[in-house]
Amino acid sequence: MTTNKFACRLSSGLKTLLILVSIAMLLLISSCKPKETPKEERYVVLSPEVAEIMAALELTDKIVGLTAECNYPAEFASIPKVGRFGNVGKEAMLKLEPTVVFAAGLEQEAIAEELKKLNIKVVTVYPQSLDELYDAITYIGAITGTQQRAKALNEELQASVAAIKKKADQLARPRVYLEIYRNPLMSVSDESFVGQILELAGGDNIFPTLEREYARVKPEDVINAEPDIIICYSRDSISNIIKRKGWQNIPAIKNGYIYTHKEVNPDHILRAGPRIPLGLKRLYDLYEAWGRDQRS
- Domain locations in the chain as residue ranges: 43-126, 170-295
Name the pTM for this structure: 0.84
Q: Cis peptide before 73, with omega less than 30 degrees from 0?
A: yes
What does each C-alpha distance from 163 to 40, 83, 132, 172, 271 come to in angstroms? 40, 38, 19, 17, 20
pLDDT digits 0-9 by tens, 130-183: 999 999 999 999 999 999 999 999 999 999 999 999 999 999 999 999 999 999
d(CA 48, CA 271): 8
Same fold, 43-126 and 170-295: yes
pLDDT digits 0-9 by tens, 69-88: 999 999 999 999 999 999 99
pLDDT at 36 over 50: no
The CATH class given to the 170-295 domain equals alpha beta
d(CA 146, CA 123): 16
What residues form DSSP beta bridges with 232? 179, 260
The fold for domain 43-126 equals: Rossmann fold (3.40.50)
With b for 16 or more beta-carbon neighbours within 10 A and e for fewer, the 11-32 pattern comes to eeeeeeeeeeeeeeeeeeeeee
- Residue 19 confidence (pLDDT): 60
